[in-house]
Amino acid sequence: MDDIFDSSLNLEEAHLKEGFDEGYKDGLGSGKEDGKQVGLKTGFEVGEELGFYKGCVDIWNSAIHVDPTQFSSRVQKGIKQMEELIEKYPIMEPENESVHEIMDSLRLKFRAVCASMGVKLEYNGYPKSSSVEKEKIMLKSMLGCCKVYISESRNRAALESIERAAKLFPKAPIINKFVDETYNRVGYTLVSKLDPQPSSDPCPLRTSVLAMVKAALESIDLELHSGSHPRLGIVDHICFHPLLSTSLDQAANIAKSLAADVGYGLQVPTFLYGAAHGEGRTLDTIRRELGYFKPNSSGNQWVGGLKQESLALKPDEGPPHVIPTKGVIVIGATRWVDNYNVPVFSTDLSAVRRIAKGVSGRGGGLPSVQAMALAHGETVIEVACNLLDPNNVRGDRVQLEVERLAKEEGISVGKGYFTDLSQEKIIQNYLKLDSALAEEFRFVIYHEHKNEMKAFQTQLYSVSLNSLPLGNIADGCSKSHCKDVITKDCEDKEPTDLGYNYDNENSSSFQQESGAAYLVPKHHQKLHWGLDTKERWERKANM
């Protein structure tokens, strides 16, 4: 009986092994075939997408070869970076860990170059992952940009109040800030997504800008202001620009809605221009009517509030009379505009005015360029230019024309500069920022002192990245190298008061203080950064 039982077991095991071997063999063959098909399909998709980008780069390079001025230096730089990414892609090493990173960078660079050119090119091939789908959705989504120019740069408390107001609306973050203390003027650039269809939900871009305007009116007195840049009010100028697939009409609707809020809600005379005005009135037309270009003090300075109680133009929104401490506000919507200033080393204002007139389209110079001469310190006068069509007339062309005209006057010229990031860079920065705003990440806070961290090294701090500037995340260390990043004296401050500084890579004069970004605990308790005793670290870990 035992022999029969053992034989049965052995037979069953033999059949099991035989079946497994056959199944393994068949499965291996089938798996190889399936894998081959998947590999073939994946290789085809990657090759097709790379070929698309390579074709675009080749065409663009051919155009540059025929006419080197065809594209701006920024666009040419972007094309060159695309070419380098294509060459860098490890085609024969599909298992290389860098393939996804390179492809993602290439897709983003392609979109940014197209946006900068003002063309709509799109690869409609095979998306590789959910992250790519998300990126495509983001890039197809409608973005609105708003530039806010405020007549103040020396009153730090006022600027902090204005920036604090904007941070209450993290869906419309400040992407750039440009301060000019000589002009006593600051410019903010904000971006947010826009709803594709009319919505009852408030527009983040409008609400954020409105909060900034309100804070500015409450913290600045135009009667006490002076500077060498003309202005009509505390908040001198607000302009909305459509980005990506947004239409100019959509930007204009936001501008008109904001104008009503400012005019009647805040009781400030408000003028509309561009697409926001029924007849397309231009910005410079309003400014000329209201005496914007005429200094009201010696030394080519603008001092104090508007002297005229009764305005030469009827406001589109708000009261007909001016409050001297506030002035008026001009709000508009246009296609993208670049601001480019060229320093001229001279004190001869009349000569530099002739140069500015010769550069401007109104004076018979470059089409779509507006220019004026403004004193910028004691030994420099700037030719300040608005480039209304920067795709056709760029900063490099303005630079050459100013140099040519200055040479005729016997005056030397310095290298010009833009007062804001390029449209391409603004879109890039927002897309990076938006990915951080879209979801919460968990970070383990590491300290250099490993022994102190050992007791609670598994503790996680949940932080909402209300505003993440290009990936600079601080680790809470109180060492000297972190002093510029984390505010140490924060015992009595809320988490939203804890910020850090960083310099924008494209603008040496751009430094955003006290909150370009904030780390806010998910549980909204205080988090005392910069304290390095073991007890306090443990207190943090046990919150």
Q: Is 355 exposed, middle or buried (0-12, 13-18, 19+ CB in 10 A)?
A: buried
Q: Which two tokens stand for residue 356?
A: 């500015």
Active site residue 229: yes
DSSP class of 345: -
The answer to whether 319 and 269 are in contact (CB under 8 A) is yes
Question: In terms of DSSP bridges, do strands 270-274 and 329-333 run parallel, antiparallel, or are they unpaired?
Answer: parallel
How far, in Å, CA of 70 to CA of 387, rounded? 17
Query: Would you report the helix, strand and coil content of the chain in percent, each value rounded to 5?
Result: 40, 20, 40
How far, in Å, CA of 417 to CA of 415, rounded? 7
Largest distance between two CA atoms of the chain: 121
Residue given tokens 């919505």 in the structure block: 199
Cβ-proximal residues to 1 (8 Å cutoff; 6+ apart), any chain: none
How far, in Å, CA of 371 to CA of 383, rounded? 6
Q: Which two tokens stand for residue 140?
A: 């197809």
DSSP class of 203: P
**Beta-ladder partners of 188:** 148, 177
From the list 15, 100, 225, 229, the catalytic residue is: 229
How far, in Å, CA of 384 to CA of 229, rounded? 10
Whole-angstrom CA distances from 98 to 44, 53, 110 are: 18, 18, 18
How far, in Å, CA of 89 to CA of 212, rounded? 45
Scanning 67-128, the segments in alpha helix (DSSP H) are 73-88, 99-117
> What φ, ψ does residue 78 adopt, rounded to 5°?
-65, -40
The answer to whether 228 and 167 are in contact (CB under 8 A) is no
Q: Which two tokens stand for residue 12?
A: 């069953």
For helices 423-437 and 99-117, angle between their N-to-C axes, nearest 10 degrees: 130
The answer to whether 161 and 201 are in contact (CB under 8 A) is no
How far, in Å, CA of 341 to CA of 395, rounded? 9
For helices 423-437 and 73-88, angle between their N-to-C axes, nearest 10 degrees: 50
Burial 269-298 (b: 16+ CB within 10 A, else e): bbbbbbbbbeeebbbbebbeebebeeeeee
**Beta-ladder partners of 387:** 338, 369
Question: In terms of DSSP bridges, do strands 174-180 and 185-194 run parallel, antiparallel, or are they unpaired?
Answer: antiparallel
List the catalytic residues.
Answer: 229
